[in-house]
Amino acid sequence: MRVIDDRGKLFGLINPIDLLALVLVLAVAAGIYLKVHPAGQAQEYATADVLVEAAFIHPETAKAVKVGDRLVANGSFTDARIIDVRVEPALIATTKADGTRLLTRDPFNMDLYATIRGRVALGEPDLRVAGQEVRVGKDDFYLKTQTVQLKAQVLKIDIHED
């Protein structure tokens, strides 16, 4: 049996150019896979408690946020849950007759403080809870459950390694 037959095929099976193209495609696919899934790097996870504040909201909206509610992202439930909710009259700054500023409580609107517990990947540059980046001071975290969606600010992050 000849290595290359009279039709130019290796062992009578495949054209050498086709074989080269196939090997190239497989090498590129393997390279992409290894770039996305690095070998030997196990992801380390921990539990994070994230305190968020949704300021100046309607009292009925505040009542709708419940301990135990699961957060939603991209149309699916996430592993994050609300573990604590605290509601207080909203803080507002007013000006007195003499021109001095006064920090007082609003008689109607509420400030909602919710603690969310979820899993975070410690090896990533961005901590993510419920599919959203969390950083102290980030003011566009969406507290989104099956029945409520509020824009909130991240106030505190506590990481508990498992």
**Total-model pTM:** 0.72
Q: Based on the domain organization, do 96 and 18 belong to the same domain? A: no
Q: Based on the domain organization, do 12 and 59 belong to the same domain? A: no
Q: Based on the domain organization, do 98 and 151 belong to the same domain? A: yes
* Residue located via tokens 């008689």: 107
The secondary structure of 67-120 as a DSSP string is TTPEEEETTEEEEEEEEEEEEEEEEEEEE-TTS-EEEEEEEEEEEEEEEEEEEE
Nearest-CA neighbor of 86 among 61, 115, 109, 64? 115
pLDDT tens for each residue of 69-119: 999 999 999 999 999 999 999 999 999 999 999 999 999 999 999 999 999
Q: Based on the domain organization, do 72 and 128 belong to the same domain? A: yes
Q: Based on the domain organization, do 62 and 86 belong to the same domain? A: yes
Question: In the 8-state DSSP scheme, what is residue 29?
Answer: H
Q: Based on the domain organization, do 52 and 35 belong to the same domain? A: no
Q: Based on the domain organization, do 19 and 60 belong to the same domain? A: no
Reported residue count of the chain is 162
| Domain region containing 35 | 1-41
Q: Based on the domain organization, do 74 and 145 belong to the same domain? A: yes
Q: How confident is the model at residue 13, as a pLDDT?
A: 75
Residue type, 120: V
Q: Based on the domain organization, do 67 and 36 belong to the same domain? A: no
- C-alpha 124/C-alpha 94 separation (Å) is 43
Q: How confident is the model at residue 1, as a pLDDT?
A: 58
pLDDT tens for each residue of 135-157: 999 999 999 999 999 999 999 99
Residues of the chain above pLDDT 70, percent: 93
Specify the number of domains making up the chain: 2
Q: Based on the domain organization, do 77 and 127 belong to the same domain? A: yes
Would you say 96 and 102 are in contact if contact means Cβ atoms under 8 Å apart?
yes
pLDDT tens for each residue of 10-67: 677 778 788 888 899 999 999 888 887 766 666 789 999 999 999 999 999 999 999 9
Q: Based on the domain organization, do 57 and 121 belong to the same domain? A: yes
Q: How confident is the model at residue 118, as a pLDDT?
A: 97
Q: How confident is the model at residue 22, as a pLDDT?
A: 87
- C-alpha 154/C-alpha 53 separation (Å) is 7
Would you say 146 and 39 are in contact if contact means Cβ atoms under 8 Å apart?
no
Q: Based on the domain organization, do 14 and 66 belong to the same domain? A: no
10 Å Cβ neighbour count for 85? 16
Q: How confident is the model at residue 38, as a pLDDT?
A: 67
